[in-house]
Structure 1
């Protein structure tokens, strides 16, 4: 995986093979950040990266100047890797090892952008819990956005606060506001 843009543009990051992850593809990541670049100043926002895995999305935000990034994942190996990588690049990424749903139930901190990249094999009920908890607990700032990455075979358009989706290859981003 590589960082697409910003201060660390072109840097390759090699995650350990044993991590249970499926990083967002470079093509999908670049398309997503092109969309976000038209709506946000990255140095003025707060980002919550759920199911953060390798930290791929967090690194991209940090490279573009975001100072407030919180990455949440249940896997100790993922959290350790993100911490090591963030430290080596001097990126302002904080991490929490937690089940994402428990974290969302207990969190009170608001964010400008919340990005969730859960396992693609989640059933629709599990996917639906993400926006349900985000909006019930008012975790988005005004003008904030929740983005859920999922397979093109999963339809989230029936969920409350759904706005639209964008498809890139086998990846899909659903936007909620």
Structure 2
């Protein structure tokens, strides 16, 4: 796994050593960030990023590499926490990155600035995205108008709870990514 664009392009990220963490592939990250750059006015630039079910942190680190102001990584897994901490140290971005070790579906009140760009990449097929986005919205984690990307299995049903409007859904093989806005 590597950063595919921006300041840290080509830098390697440490991948998971065991089952249970499914990082977003380099190819899919590159495709998503191309969409963000060209269809959504370079949404990563100066963004406050919330990376829910962060896993390796690849999406948040990619956003930081491409000019995001800050990234908040949320994952309750022990291995995920270690991988994200190692990534923060290796990339020297501790001033712009924060690990929040908790269940993304039970966030509670916001611990930082509201996010303007959200990545939600839960384990496929468990319908966790609506619960996580609802928790983020009710806890004040999201800025009004925040752009939200939900990665899920292509066969999954609706992934957005009330208060979010779908902008588009793009298929990438067995994966679908829903782009949405938080009404706020």
Shorter-chain TM-score bucket reads 0.7 to 0.9
Determine whether 1:5 maps to 2:5: yes
Deviation at residue 13 of structure 1 after TM alignment: 2.1
TM-score by length of 2: 0.84
In 1, Cα distance between equivalents of 2:125 and 2:6: 32
Q: Which residue of 2 aligns with 1:50?
A: 52
In 2, Cα distance between equivalents of 1:148 and 1:81: 21
Q: Choose 44-53 or 89-98, whichever is displaced more.
A: 89-98
Matching of residues 117-136 of structure 1 within 5 Å:
117-123=121-127, 126-136=128-138
Q: Structure 1, unaligned stretches of length 5 or more?
A: none
SS at match of 1:36: helix
The verdict on how the C-alpha distance between 1:135 and 1:85 changes in structure 2, with shifts beyond 3 A counting, is closer
Q: Structure 2, unaligned stretches of length 5 or more?
A: none
Structure with a larger share of its residues in helix: 1
Q: Given the alignment, which residue of 64, 67, 72 partners 1:62?
A: 64
SS at match of 1:5: coil
Q: Given the alignment, which residue of 51, 75, 78 partners 1:76?
A: 78
Spell out structure 1 runs of 4+ moving beyond 4 A. none
In 1, Cα distance between equivalents of 2:117 and 2:160: 21
Deviation at residue 167 of structure 1 after TM alignment: 1.0
What's the C-alpha RMSD, in Å, of the aligned pairs?
2.0
Q: Which residue of 1 aligns with 2:177?
A: 173
* Residues 19 and 77 in structure 1, CA contact (< 8 A), matched pair in contact too: no
